[in-house]
Amino acid sequence: MSDLQIGDQAPDFEASTDGNGRLKLSDFQGQNVILYFYPKDDTPGCTTEACAFQDNLPNFQTKDAVVIGISKDTPAKHDKFKEKYQLDFPLISDEDGAICESYGTWVEKSMYGKKYMGIDRATFLIGSDGKILEIWRKVKVPGHVEAVLSALEEKKAA
């Protein structure tokens, strides 16, 4: 379990994306990156969150920020999810969980008394220098995207 803090260098990675692509975090040096981890494509909370990021994409782009989603779903599942909801940002497939591990988002969860491992819904705002500007853990979807936008505006002003 990683204990990343604000000010730490964001762990770099290279991974498969939707559309049979590859993406490397360091390719976005010079831009702000909103890296959000979510449990599963096409589930109610994850769909709401993805659509909220999509709806606000122009606002993020005017702040020189890119949005990247990460789950353990396969690239093929990501393709279906993106097509169904017209998502216009990359979705990373972290099938082996290495990225989730490095960001500390692979955690023990509990539902109805059963314990299991899963992705903690979390978002990292990474600055143009690759350092973590803000971290949201145990994200509640309503109002979250607005909080990320607001933090991005504050960091830009600073």
What range does the domain containing 107 cover?
14-152
CA atoms lying within 13 Å on the CB side of residue 52: 17
Has 51 been annotated as catalytic? no
Q: Do the domain assignments include residue 87? A: yes
pTM score > 0.85 for this model? yes
**Residue of 4, 33, 46, 68 marked catalytic:** 46
Nearest 5°: phi and psi at 133?
A: -95, -30
CA atoms lying within 13 Å on the CB side of residue 129: 9
Q: Do the domain assignments include residue 1? A: no
* Per-residue pLDDT in tens (0 to 9) along the chain, 158 residues: 468 999 999 999 999 999 999 999 999 999 999 999 999 999 999 999 999 999 999 999 999 899 999 999 999 999 999 999 999 999 999 999 999 999 999 988 888 999 988 899 999 999 999 999 999 999 999 999 999 999 998 876 55
Q: Do the domain assignments include residue 8? A: no
CATH number for the domain that contains residue 121: 3.40.30.10
First to last CA, the chain: 31
SS3 call for 92 = strand
Q: Do the domain assignments include residue 115? A: yes
Please count the structural domains in the chain: 1
Q: Do the domain assignments include residue 9? A: no
CB-CB contact of 59 with 82 (8 Å):
no
Q: Do the domain assignments include residue 158? A: no
